[in-house]
Copies of this chain bind each other. A is one copy, B any other.
Amino acid sequence: MCAKHFRHKPPTQLEQQQEMLLVVPALKSQVNLARLVRLAGCAGIRRIITSGSDKVDPKIARDGVDHVLIEKRRSLIPVLKKLRASGYHIVALEQTESSQVLYDYAFQRKTALLIGHEGRGIPNEELRVVDECIEIPVYGMPHSYNVVTATTMAVYEYCRQFHL
Contacts and interface: CB of A to CB of B under 8 A. Distances in A.
Given A42-B142, A103-B160, A156-B153, A127 B2 contact: yes
A24 B13 CA distance: 30
Contacts of A95: 5-7, 9
Contacts of A2: 92, 94, 96, 98-99, 127-128, 130, 132-133
The secondary-structure label for the interface of chain A is: loop
Interface in A14-55: 14, 18, 35, 38-39, 41-46
A140 B18 CA distance: 11
B96 A5 contact: yes
Interface size class, chain A: 35 or more
Interface string A37-78: 011011111100000000000000011101100000000000
A11 interface: yes
Interface of A: 1-9, 11-14, 18, 35, 38-39, 41-46, 62-64, 66-67, 92, 94-99, 103, 121-124, 127-133, 135-146, 148-149, 152-153, 156-157, 159-160, 163
